[in-house]
Chains A and B, each alone.
Chain A
Amino acid sequence: MTASVDLADFLPAYLAEAEELLGAAQRHLLAVEASVRRGLAHPRAVRELFRALHTIKGLSAMVDVESIVSIAHWMETSLRHADRAGGRLPEASVEPLMEGLREIEHRVRQLASGKPATPVPAGLLERLEALEAAALGTGPAKPAPVTLELDATLAARLSAAEREQLTAGVASGRRAVRLDFVPGAERAASGITINSVREHVAKLGETVKVLPLSGPAAGGGSLTFALLLLTDAPDAALLEAAGGPPASVRSLVSEQAPAPAGAPAMPSEPELESVAARMEDEPEEQRRGGGTLRVEVSRLDEALERLAALVVNRSRLTRAVAELTAAGAPTRELTTILQENGRQLRDMRAAIIRLRMVKVADVLERLPLLVRGLRRSTGKAVRLELEVGDAELDKAVADRLLPALVHLVRNAVDHALESPEERLAVGKPEEGVVRLACHGGASGLLELSVTDDGRGVDATAVAARAGVPVPSTADGLLDVLCRPGFSTRDAANATSGRGMGMDIVRRIAVDQLGGELRLETRLGVGTTFHLRVPLTITLLDALVFECAGLRYAVAVGSVEELIDVDVARLVRPAGASGVTLVERRGSAVPLLALERLLERGRPEGRSGAGAKALIVRQRGEPVAFAVDRLLGQQEIVLRPLEDPLVRVSGVVGATDLGDGQPTLVLDLAALGAARGGAVRRPEPRQGRERAP
C-alpha cells in the first residue's frame, strides 16, 4: 500500500505540528473556561481554539486518522455556535471539549509511539453533538443580502464564507473594496512589498482575502495582488498604502445598490470559517512573513554532529601546525588563520545551540491543564501561579526537565496542599497556591522553584516511615525523601505531605542533567523545591584531566576549586579505608582517590604524589577528588550515553577531544555519591584499554 509509505514520511512533521496545536488549543480552552466561569464571553479565545482544532482536523485528515478528524469536527461544530453567540460558551460545554482534547492528545501520542490511533470512545461524539443541539438557535439572524460585483476570476476563488463576510460588512455600513497592488522591483527597492502593503492596509480596515492574480498587470507587471477589504477609509488612503498608481481601488458593491435599511448589526470580525479558510488560502509568500520555521530536533543534532567533527579536525590541524612550528617552519600566517578559524567555529557553534533553545514558557504550557485535572480529581482548591519570563532552554534539557516539574507540581497538589476544610481550620485561605518560578541565572544555569503553601514536610514522620534517624538538615531530609521506592501514598498523604517518587525528580535533575535539587520546608507553612539545571547539556566548558592513564572531562561549573595536594599534609583517619583528609583554608576536606571510583588500578603501583585535586560540592559539602594531572580547559560537545549498558551514575556522557576515542565526561558529585560508599575492587581489564 503506497499510502502507508507516504504516511510514514509525513508523520514526524504531523506529530510536531499536532503537538504544538494541541498546546495552543489547551491554552485557549483554559482561557475560555476561565471566562465562562465568570460569565463572560471570550470571542478571541473561541476563535483561536477553533482555528487550532480546524488545522488539527485538516492535518489529521491528511494522515488519515479518522478518529481525530471526527472528534475535532464535532468540537468545531460546537465552537461555531459559541462564536455565533458572540464568543459565549455554555458552561456545560467545557467538560466535553476538555474530554475531546484529551482524546485527541491521547491519539496523537499513540501515533507518536508507532501505534494506530484507537477509534473514538463511545459516547464522546454524542456528548459533543448534544452541545450542538443545545446551542442551536442562538445565532443572530442573517443580514439582508447584498450583491457583490466580482469578476469571474475573483468570484471563483472566493469561498461562501468570504462572500458572506463581505456582504455582512457592507450590511453593517462598511465599504467592500478591491485594492489591486502591482509589485515591482522599483517598489520593492523602496520597501513596498505585498507584506508592507498588507500591514498598512490592516490599519485601515479588515482584509478579507488576498488573491495573487497572474497575467498582464497595470504598469507593465505580470502579477497583481487583489486585496478584498472591508474598510471605512477613503480610496486615497488605500491607494497610498499600496504605494500609489499603478495600484487601483474599486468598489465591490455598485453604488446604486439600495442600502440595507435597518439591517441587524453583525459582529465586525469575520466568521470562523473564513478565519480558518483564509489561513489556508493565503499565498505561501505571506505566510513565510512570520519568519518561523519548524525543524526536527534530529536535524539540529545532525548539524551539531557535523560541527563537532569540524572542531575535532581543527584540533588535529592545530597540532600539526604546532609540530611544523617546532620544526622551524614559517607558520605565522597559518597560526593567524587557525585562530580566526577557531573563532568562527565557536560562533557557529553558539548559533546552532541558539537554534535549539525553546522558551521555558512554552515548555510549561501543559501545567495549567495538569493542575486543572488535579483540582477535579482531588477536590482541592488550588491556583497555579507561573512566573517564567522569557528564559530559554535547550530542547534536550527541556524534554528531560518537564517530567520532573510535572512530578513536583502533582506532588504539591496531591500531597502537600490540605483540603479546603483543613486549610480553613488552620486559618489559611481556602484556595492553596502552587507557584512555579524560573530565572535564567548567571553562568549558563536556569533556576526553577516549585513552591506550595501546604502543610510542609514533617521530618519526624518521614524518618519514622523510612526507619531512619530524624534528619537534622534540609539536605538530609531530601535524601530520605529521594530514597528509591520511599513513600507510599498513605505516608505521603497522611504525614509527610511530600515524597511520591522524589527519586525520579532527583535522578532527572541531578544525575541526568548534572544540576542541583534542594528543599526548603516549614511545617504548616509550605515547601519549596529549588532546581538548578544547565541551560544546555550539549555544549560544555570542561576541565580535562588525566587520572590513572586516561583522560576525563568535567563541567567547569561543577568544580569549585582546584588544589595542589601536598602528600605530607594528608591525614588518614583510622578505619576510613581509602578516604583521607586534606586541609583547605583551615578546614578538613575528604579526599577521594578518583582512580578507585573509576575502578582503575595502578599497574605500576605508583602513588598519587604531587597530584592535583578537584573540589566539588556533594550535597552541599566539599569533597576533593584526586587526579594525576590537569590538561586544561576547553569547550566540548557532550554526547549523552543512552544505551543501558553504559548508562551509569556519575558518567554524564562522552566527548571527543580530537583523538577519535571517546573521553568520558564525569559528574564527580554523582560519581562520589553513587560509588564513594562502597569502592569496588578494581577489576583487571588489561588488554582492553586504550593507551593513554
Chain B
Amino acid sequence: MSVLHVVFKVDGAEYALPASDVLQMESYTGATPVPGAPSHVAGLVQVRGRVIPVVDARARFGLPPGQRSLDTRVVVGQLGNRIVGLLVDSAREVLKLDPAQVKPPPPLVVEGARGFVKAVAQVGPRLVMLIDFPRVIGEETPNGDGQR
C-alpha cells in the first residue's frame, strides 16, 4: 500500500518523511537561540501556542549555512510525545510512495549520511531520500530523571 510522504529540499537534494509523522508546515521567521543547546539546534519557535525546538537540517547534515528565503520552511514533526521542527530550504510537495519504489540506500550513502538516510525512493528520474527522523533530531526521548 502506498504511503503519503512530505518531500522537502535541503541544499538541492530531496528528502521525505511519512506524512503521518508531520503535523504541519510553517514558514520561518527566525528562531530564538538557546545557549548550550546542540549546535544543530537553530533555536525555539512558537507553533500554535507551543514552544518547540527547531533542528537546522543543513547544520545537521554538515552542509554550509544557506540563505533564508521565502521558501524556507519548518517541517513540524511528531515523535511520540515530542514535537520538533526541522528547518529545510523548501517543502512543496507530497508524494505517494509505493514500498516497491523504496530501496535500502547504497552502502556508500549509509556511511556518508551517518544513518540519517534510511532508504532511497526512485520517483521517475528523481531520487528521494527517506530520512530517519529520530536520528536527525539526534536525542533520545527525555529520560526519567525526576521530571515526570
The answer to whether residues A644 and B141 also contact, given A688-B42, A688-B43 and a CB cut-off of 8 A, is yes
The answer to whether B44 and A654 touch across the interface, beta carbons within 8 angstroms, is yes
- B142 with A643: CB separation less than 8 A: yes
Main secondary structure of the interface of A (DSSP, over half): mixed
Interface centre among A404, A550, A689 (most CB of B within 10 A): A689
Cα-based distance from A399 to B144 in the complex (angstroms) = 13
Select from chain A the residue with minimum beta-carbon distance to B148. A399
Nearest 9 interchain pairs by C-beta: A690-B30, A648-B36, A644-B139, A662-B44, A645-B53, A403-B146, A646-B53, A598-B35, A654-B51
Q: Which of B35, B42, B46, B53 contacts A675 (CB 8 A)?
A: B35
Min Cβ gap A510→B in Å is: 13
Q: Are the C-beta atoms of B34 and A651 separated by less than 8 Å?
A: yes
Number of interface residues of B (CB under 8 A): 41
Ordered by A's residue number, 7 sampled pairs between the chains whose C-beta atoms are within 8 Å are A400-B147, A599-B35, A642-B142, A644-B142, A645-B53, A646-B53, A651-B34
Sample of 11 further A-B pairs with CB below 8 A, known A599-B36, A656-B46, A683-B39: A309-B49, A550-B32, A641-B44, A643-B142, A645-B137, A645-B139, A654-B44, A664-B34, A674-B36, A688-B68, A690-B29
CA–CA, A649 and B37, complex, Å: 10
Chain B residue at minimal CB-CB distance from A656: B46
Write the A643-673 contact mask toward B (1 if CB under 8 angstroms, else 0): 1111111110010100011111000000100
Closest residue on chain B to residue A649 by CB atoms: B36
Residue of A nearest to B43 (CB): A688
Residue on B nearest A645 in the bound complex, by CB: B53
The answer to whether the Cβ of A308 comes within 8 Å of any Cβ in the partner chain is yes
- The interface residues of chain A lying within 8 Å CB-to-CB of B82 are 643
Q: Mark B19-40, 1 if CB is under 8 A from A, else 0.
A: 0000000000111111111110
Question: B49 and A308: CB pair below 8 A?
Answer: yes
Q: State the interface size on chain A (CB cutoff 8 A).
A: 46
In the bound complex, residues from chain B placing their C-beta under 8 Å from that of A651 are 34-36
A691 at the interface (CB under 8 A from B): yes
Report B36-86 residues with CB < 8 Å from chain A CB.
Answer: 36-39, 41-46, 49-53, 55-56, 65-68, 82, 84
A508 near B: Cβ within 8 Å?
yes
- Given A404-B146, A644-B142, A647-B142, answer yes or no on A687-B32 (Cβ-Cβ < 8 Å): no
List residues 98-148 of chain B with CB under 8 A from any CB of chain A. 137-143, 145-148
Q: Identify the interface centre among A308, A404, A599: most chain B CB within 10 Å of its CB.
A: A599
For the complex, what is the distance from the CA of A512 to the CA of B140, rounded to whole Å? 20
A435 in the interface (beta carbon within 8 A): no
A381 partner residues in chain B, CB cutoff 8 A:
none
Q: Which residues of A contact B41 (CB under 8 A)?
A: 645-646
Say yes or no: A305 contacts B49, CB within 8 Å.
yes
A569 at interface, CB cutoff 8 A: no
Of A504, A550, A662, A691, which one neighbours B145 at CB under 8 angstroms?
A504
A281 to B8: give the CA distance in the assembly, Å: 60
Q: CA–CA, A648 to B32, complex, Å? A: 14
On chain B, the residues within 8 Å of A597 by CB distance are 35
Minimum Cβ distance to chain B for residue A228 (Å) = 48
Interface assignment of A299: CB less than 8 Å from any CB of chain B: no
Residues of B contacting A675 with CB < 8 Å? 35-36
Contact in complex: B146, A690 (CB < 8 Å) = no
- Residue A288 interfacial (CB < 8 Å): no
Known A308-B49, A687-B65, A688-B56; judge A504-B146 contact (CB<8 A): yes
Which B residues are in CB contact (< 8 Å) with A691?
Answer: 30
Q: Is the CB of B30 within 8 A of A661?
A: yes
Inter-chain CA distance A599–B33, complex, in Å, is 9
Q: In the complex, are the beta carbons of B31 and A648 less than 8 A apart? A: no
Tell me if A507 is interfacial: C-beta within 8 Å of chain B: yes
Q: Is the CB of A662 within 8 A of B32?
A: yes
C-alpha spacing A309/B49, complex, angstroms? 7
A508 to B146, CA, bound (A): 8
Q: Which residues of A contact B67 (CB under 8 A)?
A: 687
Separation in Å of the A358 CB from the closest CB of chain B? 15
Given the known interface contacts A308-B49, A641-B51, A661-B30, the answer about A650 and B42 at a Cβ–Cβ threshold of 8 Å is no
Q: Are B142 and A648 in contact (CB under 8 A)?
A: no
Contact present for A642 and B139 (CB under 8 Å): no
A362 to B57, CA, bound (A): 47
Task: Give A45 to B148 CA distance when docked, in angstroms.
Answer: 32
Q: Looking across the interface, which residue of chain B has its beta carbon closest to that of A654? A: B51
- A84 CB to nearest B CB, Å: 44
Question: Is the CB of A685 closer than 8 A to any CB of chain B?
Answer: yes
Q: A349: CB under 8 A from chain B?
A: no
Tell me whether A639 is interfacial, beta carbon within 8 Å. Answer: yes
Please give, as numbers and ranges, the residues of chain B lying within 8 Å of A647 by CB-CB distance. Answer: 142
The answer to whether B84 touches A645 (Cβ under 8 A) is yes
Minimum CB distance partner of A396 in chain B: B148
Choose one: A649, A650, A661, A687; the contact of B68 (CB below 8 Å): A687
CA distance A550 to B33 in the complex (A): 9
Partner of A690, one of B32, B38, B52: B32
Residues of chain A within 8 A of B52, CB atoms compared: 643
A586 to B51, CA, bound (A): 44
- Known interface pairs A642-B142, A688-B31, A690-B29; A660-B36 also in contact (CB < 8 Å): no
Q: Once bound together, how far apart are the Cα atoms of A402 and B92, in whole Å? A: 48
Q: Which of A12-46 contact B (CB under 8 A)?
A: none
A662 & B45 in contact (Cβ 8 Å cutoff): yes
Which residue of B31, B44, B84, B148 has the most chain A CB atoms within 10 A of its CB atom?
Answer: B44
A506 smallest CB distance to B (angstroms): 11
Closest to B87 in A: A688
Q: How far is the CB of A333 from chain B (nearest CB, A)?
A: 31
A646 and B34 contact, CB distance less than 8 A: yes
* Residues of chain B contacted by A504 (CB below 8 angstroms): 145-146
CB nearest to A306 among chain B residues: B49
Select A689's contact among B31, B36, B138, B141, beta carbons within 8 Å.
Answer: B31
Interface centre among A308, A660, A664 (most CB of B within 10 A): A664
B32: contacting residue among A507, A650, A664, CB under 8 A: A664
Could you say which of B45, B56, B145, B147 contacts A642, with CB atoms under 8 Å apart?
B147
CB within 8 A of B30: which of A308, A403, A646, A689? A689
Contact between B146 and A648, CB atoms less than 8 A apart: no
Residues from chain A with Cβ under 8 Å of B56 in the complex: 688
Contact A688 B146 (CB under 8 A): no
Q: Are B146 and A646 in touch, CB under 8 angstroms?
A: no
